Each structure stands twice: as structure tokens, then as C-alpha cells.
Chains A and B, each alone.
Chain A
Amino acid sequence: MPASEQNQSPDKQNSLPDDTTHFGYKTIDKEDKVSMVAGVFHSVAKQYDVMNDLMSFGVHRLWKRFTIDASGVRPGNAVLDLAGGTGDLTAKFSQLVGKEGKVILADINSSMLNVGRDKLRDKGLVRNIEYVQANAQYLPFEDNTFDIVTIAFGLRNVTDKDMALRSIYRVLKPGGRLLVLEFSKPEYELLNKAYDFYSFNILPKMGELVAKDGDSYQYLAESIRMHPDQETLKVMMDDAGFEQTSFKNLTGGVVALHKGYKF
């Protein structure tokens, strides 16, 4: 399927019946998405870091570092690393907020959370990190709790993204900010074509070889195409109440970092 057809406009997405959503290119009942996404991540959790390095040629580390640099984190801050997976952002935030600060690594998937917890403990990072299994749509935290919320490569897997953004807005302190790091739409046509070829022809085979799960990586490629593009996500953040929203394209727009404040 060409990229132009794959990137659906918000109108197209909104044209879905209220009780259905996307799972890659499939249209499914909303209530089934959580368990289907969970299945994908239970399956890939143990090989997640290796696959991330392989798939992105290690560049995901730079994207995450860029997110940290854009976060404005200070010692003593309270940070929520949502859909934090194996804890790459949490590890860095934990060092930067210090003993007086706090980082909560939250993920809906228990397998990912377990892999993340083991990895961070092995690195000696135990002092200021808490682990919470949570759905981004229903965050189990009080209003105005966090200085920073990040969600890296997680928002596209959330069933109701608007609801998740509103939930994040609620738990942010006034003056706090949300950073969304997510795959997006490449800025250049040539890059777009090369990226499509890579995603649909090479990525699933890599997944089959390394993680013994080609279907999950087929879902990854499809879910990226179904995710809102840069401008659409920015509008969604505005609608959820965020102010001074902006985005920065990384690696030619393959990934974008969106940022918005709560005042």
C-alpha cells in the first residue's frame, strides 16, 4: 500500500464508527485493541531493546537524548515516563532529577514493565524510580502531580489518543510540559519511499529473524502509517488543552517530537 493511502487524514480516522479503532490496517472493536496491543508487546518485550537498536541502527538513542534535552528537566522534578517500556528515558531522568526528584515508569504492559525494571535495577538505578502499570487513558494519579510527562513510541498504540492526552493534561502541574516522541511522516518524498520499502519489506523479516515474530513488526509498520501526522497530532494536543504546542522533525520527519505546556 502506498504511503499516500496509508497516512489517513483525521477525517478518515474520525469516519470510523465510535466503537471501532485501528489495529495497524485492521479495523477492530475498541475494546479488543488493548489486548491485541498487549499481545504484541508481551511477545517482543525480551528482544525489544535489541530490535530497537537493529531497526533504527541505534538512532533511537539519539531521538531519546533529544527528548531529554528538550524536556528542561531540573533536579527535584517529578517525571512520568508513560509507555516507558524498557526505561531508556527513565534511566536518564532518574539521574537528572536526583534524590530529591522522582520518576515514575508507567506502562500498560506488565512484560515491558518487568523488562524495564530488571534493566534499571541492573544499572543500579533504584533510588528514585517507581513502577506503575497504567493505561494512559485512565492515569491513576492525582491532578497536577508531574512537572514533565513523556510518552515515547507509545501514543500510537493507545486506543483513544484524545482521551489519553486529556488524562496527561490533568496530571501535569501548571507550568508542566508533555513531550510526545513518535514515528511520524517523512518530510521528503524520496525518504518516504525508502522508508516505506524498509518498513514493509525489511522490518518484518528482521522481526522474524531476531524476535521470531514477524507479525508484531508488520503491526509496527502499519501502526506508524495509521498514526496522525505532525500537524494533526499538534491540533490534537491543542484540543486537549495544551498551550504553546510545537513539534520538531527528527531524521527527516521519520520521528517527530511534539511539545506542549499546561498553564
Chain B
Amino acid sequence: MATALSKITSSLMISQVLTSTLEVVINKTLTLSANNTSLEKLTQKTLMLELEELGFPLSFSVCNTTEPTQVVVTTLTEHADCTINTSISTLRELKAEQQITELIKQNKLDLTGDIKIAQQFASVAENLDVDWQSELANHIGDIPTHKLIQLGKRISAKLQFASKQINADASEYIVHEKRLVVTRSQIDQFNHQVAEMNEQVDELEQRISQLINRKTNQ
């Protein structure tokens, strides 16, 4: 199954589609960022990301042969100054530079190589500040942008509402109609009973040890 998946991924060149898209997005974002996101410290450095969910690595190399400096994204494995092994869900947390050490402690990521490279990449990501709304307005005009943003907000709000509704309905169905799981109050009651029993067992234990002590003293 895994081999078949790997064959399909390779045949469709999904990794190349992803790396080329990422490369365009990253370099465009760097160009548009209002903050001065200097990549100078990272020139000729490569950060390799090995994500559990992907079957291939992502290598981010900062290149010094063009002006402005650009990031090239490949699946090359031959050279990396720092390699991070993690999952997609942890990626968002990686954006904060000071989080890296914390995530290593929590076993959420493995890091080999120079940690400073990872921190500098994280710092660049953290400092990115792009006003996407005004960028879009430059291309399609103010009014369409405003309408598009409003539409986006409405869709987002509806999706959030639908998501909450589905969660509530599913919970109602599972807990009350199908009785597949217990309610919060039942869990609380159960926990209370367990705590009471614990206390009783402790008391019994103390009484037994007292009786044993008395017996041995006689």
C-alpha cells in the first residue's frame, strides 16, 4: 500500500508540485513583507523539514546568487545544515523562535544540526508582515477586494457555525440518543465515587496497619 502510494506520488510528481508552489509563495511573501526580513545570516544555509505526514523531505535553501536573495525549495537530501523531524500540526508552533527548545522537550520534534539555523528561519517567519488585503486591492481594485473579504468573513462565520452545530448534534446523538458515551455529570459522579472509595480504602488500610501494630506489640 505504502509502496503503491509512493509510486503514485512519484509518478504524479506531487512533491515537485508542492515544492514549486511553496517556493513561489515564500519568495512572494518575502518580497511583500512590510518588515525588513533579512535572510543575510542564512545565505547558503539549508533547513530540511521531514514531516511525518509527507513521504519526502522539504529542503529550504537560501541562495546568494540572485538579488534579492531567494529561497529555493527542493526535496534534496544530500546537504542540510539543520534537519527538523516533526508533524504538520506542530508546524504552526514552530513559527515562534523561542518555542523550538520547548517543543524538543515535549518530544514534538527532533532536531539534528545547528539549532541556530532553525531559530533564524523561525525568526524570519515570525517577522513576516504582509497586508494581503491591500496587495489584493492592487490587483483587482478596492471595491471587489472589500466585497471578497466580506464574503470570505461571511463564509468563515457560516463554516464555524456549521462546525459548532455539527459538533453539538453529533454529541447529542452519541450521548443521549445512542448512549454510546456517558455524560459529563455521570463522569463527575463516577469520579466522586472513585474518590470516596479511595478514602475508604485508605481508612481501611490505616485500621489494618493499626491492628497489625497492636498485635505485634502484644
Contacts and interface: CB of A to CB of B under 8 A. Distances in A.
Interface stretch (A121-129, A165-173, A198-206, A232-240): A121-129
B20 A95 contact: no
B41 to A, nearest CB: 15
A7 B44 CA distance: 45
A10 interface: no
A62 B74 CA distance: 11
A99 B66 CA distance: 10
Given A65-B20, A75-B44, A98-B63, A251 B11 contact: yes
A62 B13 contact: yes
A72 B66 contact: no
A96 interface: yes
Name the prevailing secondary structure of the B interface residues.
mixed
- Number of contact residues on A: which range applies? 20 to 34
A98 B66 contact: no
B65 A69 contact: no
B64 interface: yes
Nearest to B79: A74
B86 interface: no
Given A98-B63, A124-B66, A92 B11 contact: no
Interface in B113-129: none
Contact of B17 (A62, A71, A127, A250): A62
A75 B11 contact: no
A94 interface: yes
A61 B19 CA distance: 12
Interface string B37-62: 00000001000000000000000010
Given A61-B20, A62-B17, A73-B78, A95 B11 contact: no
A127 B69 CA distance: 13
Contacts, number: 65
Contacts of B78: 72-74
Given A62-B16, A74-B78, A98 B11 contact: no
B65 A250 contact: no
B72 interface: yes
A96 B72 contact: yes
Name, among A94, A96, A123, A125, the residue most crowded by chain B CB atoms within 10 Å (CB to CB).
A96
A72 to B, nearest CB: 5
A72 B16 contact: no
A75 B45 CA distance: 9
Given A69-B75, A74-B78, A248 B10 contact: yes
B67 interface: yes
Given A69-B15, A248-B10, A251-B11, A98 B44 contact: yes
Interface string A64-88: 0110110111110000000000000
B23 to A, nearest CB: 9
A248 B75 CA distance: 16
Contacts of B13: 59, 62-63, 65-66, 250-251
B70 interface: yes
Interface of A: 59, 61-63, 65-66, 68-69, 71-75, 92, 94-96, 98-99, 123-125, 127-128, 248-252
15 contacts: A59-B13, A61-B20, A62-B13, A62-B16, A66-B16, A69-B16, A72-B76, A73-B78, A95-B70, A98-B44, A99-B44, A99-B64, A125-B66, A128-B65, A251-B11
Given A69-B76, A72-B78, A248-B10, 5 more contacts: A62-B17, A95-B63, A98-B44, A98-B63, A98-B65
- 9 closest A-B pairs by beta carbon, nearest first, are A95-B63, A65-B16, A62-B16, A62-B13, A72-B78, A69-B75, A74-B79, A124-B66, A127-B65
